[in-house]
Amino acid sequence: MTNVVALGNTGSPPLQIEYQWVGTADDAAPLIVFLHEGLGSVAMWRDFPARLCEAAGARGLVYSRPGYGRSTPRPHGEKWGVDFMHLQAREVLPALLTALGINAATDKPWLFGHSDGGSIALIHAALFPDRVAGVIVAAPHIFVEDISVTSIAKTREVYLATDLRSKLARYHDDVDSAFWGWNDIWLDPAFRTWNIEALLPKISCPVLAIQGVDDEYGTMSQIDGIAKQVPQAHLLKLENCGHSPHRDQADAVIDAVKTFVASPR
């Protein structure tokens, strides 16, 4: 079962955010916050957060960003700006933690982000370096590649021509809100200049960056770029793995994250 919480200082009426707790209820255990991909939601993580938290002895917070899942939909006439991930990292995530009574200054979360969620995790860690215990990113984006735009354009055609829309509708109250918010901004020519490399040196926490060799939305330049800017980053490159390492190689990801979170600093 998921719950909904209203966020303060995010507009009128306030945004409603779908969330779910998984893992242990021990307040002394590490807290892992899961940030989903560009078409994701709480439900689309399936059982991965629970499996990871069980293995790591952690608390897990899974949530759907505005526009996704059971959270407040994006108004159909609203277009996301090039800075949409920065807004999520700078405003929505801190507001969610506050609304749920989490003091990130004393209960520093680990952030597990996939794809767009990975980018948001990196931005948040750069903006709030004293409020993050560590970052795990799977198939993150730090700049826009041709392969990303090409694959996202293909996804648009699939959405229009196949049953993809009805499949995604199982996971989102307003599937068009979720799909077009993501698809429109990624295919906007203005978005080709999006780049967060300059922010990365501000990250002071440990980072684990994971990428599949067969990722259809990005190349190894993404996590190699993280390693160039963040000296404390560790890389995990997975064979027989596409854009969703937590699905394609779940056991390998869980083992790596469990070791990473438990490692002494």
Average pLDDT, the chain: 96
Section 104-120 average pLDDT: 98
Predicted local distance difference test score (pLDDT) of residue 264:
76
pTM of the model: 0.97
SS (H, E, C) 177-239: HHHHHHHHHHCCHHHHHCECHHHHHHCCCCEEEEEECCCCCCCCHHHHHHHHHCCCEEEEEEC
Predicted local distance difference test score (pLDDT) of residue 77:
87
Q: Give the residue, 264 or 159, on which the prediction is more confident.
A: 159
Residues in Cβ contact with 231 at an 8 Å cutoff, skipping those fewer than 6 apart: none
Section 249-258 average pLDDT: 98
User: Over the stretch 67-100, which tens digit does the pLDDT of each residue have?
Assistant: 999 999 998 889 999 999 999 999 999 999 999 9
- Scan for tokens 């948040």, then name that residue: 124
Band the pLDDT of 117: cuts 50, 70, 90: very high
Rounded to the nearest 10°, the torsion over CA 128, 3, 210, 153 is -100
pLDDT value at 11 more than 70: no
User: Over the stretch 158-190, which tens digit does the pLDDT of each residue have?
Assistant: 999 999 999 999 999 999 999 999 999 999 999
Give percent above pLDDT 90 in the chain.
95
For 12-50, letters b (16+ CB in 10 Å) and e give eeebbbbbbbbbbeeeeebbbbbbbbbbbbbbbbeebbb
Predicted local distance difference test score (pLDDT) of residue 144:
98
Predicted local distance difference test score (pLDDT) of residue 27:
94
